[in-house]
Amino acid sequence: MAYNISKLELKAAAQKLPPSPQIFAKLTKMLKDRNTSSKDIVALVKSDSSLTAKVLKISNSLAFSLGSPVDSIEQAISRIGFAELFKVVGMAAASNSFARRNATYGIDGWHFWENAVATGLAMEALAKAVGIDEKEAYTLGLLRSMGKTIVDACSQKFIVPPSYAANEQTPLLLWEEEKLGVTNPEAAAIVLESWNFPEGAIEALRYQYSPEEAPEKNLHAYLLTLAAAIADNLGRGAPGEKSYWTVTQKRLKEAGLDINALRAAHQEVKQRIETLSQELAA
């Protein structure tokens, strides 16, 4: 059975997303502005009480804690610094976005969160290796699957919602085109457009599965492919995507990396995601 989800429906669903990822997106922009003060950051994070609670929980995890616990955003900034707080806010926002099971794609909330965080951390590590903005890369890694969230929201209108089975042999994008009339990277691009992200970032998400097909070379699209490959190799992949994450010499070259840099990023992410998963899943 074929379904049809229109771009108008996707845009409407994007406007109904929880505030947390939008707050994180605003934080990404604020940290690029030298005039941003700690008070501005605190006010932004505190504008969502659910986000604040999760930020403090993650800040107090072994992955970030420096010993004594923090009980306020102000203390978190003082203790772990802006850079680490930025990562924590992203993880908390991802938790709020991917908390429930995504029935359309057959992903439970916890695994969805792990995939987002692993990809975000991999993007950060790879960006550092090639000398580009790590925060921007981390943001794109965390948000890369936002399209799946709004596709799933739109799918609930159908009497029998579409579902990608775990044993499905059809590659994910082909299944989406045949069953939904839209792909999740197209939907993700709509989300970033609604949040006024730059065109380069939007194109990165649109071509994350096939960076070679972008009209112009997009470094972040290549990095997303490699970051997703790292997440998948660490057991944090998503159903139907493995075939898209082939690591080739061409992809490494276009990303400005070599296999040693990829392995180093893999090891770094492995340590962090395992620490986070073991503690926060408890």
For 247-260, what is each residue's pLDDT tens digit? 999 999 999 999 99
Position with higher pLDDT, 230 vs 25? 230
The pLDDT value recorded for residue 67 is 64
Q: Mean pLDDT, the chain, as a whole number?
A: 89
Whether 83 is in a domain gets the answer yes
The pLDDT value recorded for residue 65 is 65
Give whichever of 95-109, 156-170, 258-272 has the largest mean pLDDT: 258-272
Give the range among 12-16, 58-62, 199-203, 233-237 with minimum mean pLDDT.
58-62
The pLDDT value recorded for residue 95 is 83
Mean pLDDT within 188-214: 95
- What does the pLDDT look like over 162-182, one tens digit per residue? 899 877 778 999 999 988 999
Band of residue 17 on the pLDDT scale cut at 50, 70, 90: confident
The pLDDT value recorded for residue 186 is 96
Whether 2 is in a domain gets the answer no
| Whole-structure pTM value | 0.90
Whether 151 is in a domain gets the answer yes
Position with higher pLDDT, 77 vs 188? 188
The pLDDT value recorded for residue 281 is 65
Whether 93 is in a domain gets the answer yes
The pLDDT value recorded for residue 261 is 97
pLDDT of residue 66 exceeding 70, the answer is: no
What is the spatial distance between Cα 86 and Cα 109, in angstroms, rounded to a whole number?
A: 22
Query: pLDDT > 90: what percent of the chain?
Result: 54
pLDDT of residue 282 exceeding 60, the answer is: no
Whether 112 is in a domain gets the answer yes
Mean pLDDT within 8-34: 85
Q: Are 224 and 205 in contact (CB under 8 A)?
A: yes
The pLDDT value recorded for residue 167 is 76
CA 20 to chain centre: 13
Specify the residue for token string 């978190």.
76
Half-sphere CA count of 272, side-chain side, radius 13 A: 25
The pLDDT value recorded for residue 161 is 84
What is the spatial distance between Cα 93 and Cα 249, in angstroms, rounded to a whole number?
A: 34
User: Structure tokens of 195?
Assistant: 């949040």
- Domain total of the chain: 1
Mean pLDDT within 4-9: 88
The pLDDT value recorded for residue 62 is 63
Q: Taking the alpha carbons of 203, 135, 120, 94 in that order, is the dihedral positive or negative?
A: negative
Position with higher pLDDT, 160 vs 219? 219
What is the spatial distance between Cα 265 and Cα 254, in angstroms, rounded to a whole number?
A: 17
Q: Are 224 and 140 in contact (CB under 8 A)?
A: yes
Band of residue 221 on the pLDDT scale cut at 50, 70, 90: very high
* Domain range enclosing 204: 7-280
The pLDDT value recorded for residue 165 is 82
For the domain that residue 55 is a member of, what is the CATH number? Answer: 1.10.3210.10
The pLDDT value recorded for residue 77 is 78
pLDDT of residue 278 exceeding 90, the answer is: no
Query: pLDDT > 70: what percent of the chain?
Result: 96
